[in-house]
Amino acid sequence: MNKDKLLVINPGSTSTKVAVFKDELLLWTGTLTHSTGALKEFNNIIEQFQFRKKTIERAVLNKGYALEEFKAVVARGGLLKPISGGTYIVNDAMLQDLRNGTYGEHACNLGALIAKEIAGPLGINAYIVDPVVVDELEPLARLSGIPEVPRRSIFHALNQKAMARRYCRENNQRYEDVNLLVVHLGGGISVGAHKKGRVIDVTNALDGEGPFSPERAGGIPVVELLKYFIEHGKDLDGIRKRLIGQGGLVAYLNTNDAREVEDMIEKGNGEAALVYEAMAYQIAKEIGAYAAVLSGKIDGIIVTGGLAFSSRLTTWIKERVDFIAPVVLYPGEDEMTALVEGVLRVFNGTEEALVY
Structural contact between residues 192 and 153, judged by C-beta atoms closer than 8 angstroms: no
Region of 268 on the Ramachandran plot (φ > 0 left; ψ -120 to 50 alpha; else beta): left
- Beta-sheet strand order (sheet of 179-185): 198-202, 189-195, 179-185, 300-305, 327-331
What's the burial of 296, exposed, middle or buried (CB within 10 Å: 0-12/13-18/19+)? exposed
Which pLDDT does position 136 carry in this prediction? Answer: 98
**pLDDT of res. 76:** 94
As a whole number of angstroms, the distance between CA 206 and CA 247 comes to 12
Nearest Cα to Cα of residue 200 among 159, 144, 139: 139
Whose CA is closest to 114, among 64, 42, 51?
A: 51
Please report the pLDDT score of residue 56 as a whole number: 97
Digit-by-digit pLDDT tens for the chain (356 residues) are: 789 999 999 998 888 999 999 999 999 999 999 988 888 889 888 999 999 999 999 999 999 999 999 999 999 999 999 999 999 999 999 999 999 999 988 889 999 999 999 999 999 999 999 999 999 999 999 999 999 999 999 999 999 999 999 999 999 999 999 999 999 999 999 999 999 999 999 999 888 899 999 999 999 999 999 999 999 998 988 898 889 889 999 999 999 999 999 999 999 999 999 999 999 999 999 999 999 999 999 999 999 999 999 999 999 999 999 999 999 999 998 899 999 999 999 999 999 999 99
Contacts of residue 2, Cβ cutoff 8 Å, sequence gap at least 6: 69
Where do the domains of the chain lie, and which CATH numbers do they carry? Answer: 5-135+336-355 (3.30.420.40), 157-332 (3.30.420.40)
What is the per-residue pLDDT for 74?
Answer: 98
pTM score over 0.85: yes
Position 36 scores a pLDDT of 80
DSSP strand pairing (87-89 vs 354-355): parallel
